[in-house]
Amino acid sequence: MKAENTVEIDLAGKTSLADTMIVTSGRSNRHVGAIADRILQDLKDKGFGNARVEGLPTCDWVLIDAGDVLVHIFRPEVRGFYNLEKMWSADRPQDHMA
């Protein structure tokens, strides 16, 4: 579906929500919706049809929760505003004991 600027983020050890986060962009609301529909169909075809989905009505930002993998599909402007890559890719500060 020609998703753009796709990034994979390893979440292992950072959260119990998932092991991997995929962040990608579509050029418009329609493109975001088409990418989401294709991913959902591919998941269903491969036996992972119980993914939870949010954001399909407006298609500014669609979240697909497929268990161990979270997929975020954004319009470019919305992606830039939330900047999930920076938030989740940054190393967390280490706790230092005195």
CATH number of the domain within which 9 lies: 3.30.460.10
Q: Which pLDDT does position 88 carry in this prediction?
A: 83
Count of domains observed in the chain: 1
Find the angle CA(89)-CA(60)-CA(70) to the nearest 5 degrees. 40
Q: What is the pTM of this model?
A: 0.86
pLDDT (tens digit per residue) in 64-97: 999 999 999 999 999 999 999 888 875 544 444 4
User: What is the three-state SS of 31-76?
Assistant: HHHHHHHHHHHHHHHCCCCCCEEECCCCCCEEEEECCCEEEEEECH
**Res 98 pLDDT > 60:** no
**In terms of residue numbers, what domain contains 82?**
4-89
Residue 51 lies in a domain: yes
Residue 98 lies in a domain: no
Distance CA 13, CA 51 (A): 22
Residue 79 lies in a domain: yes
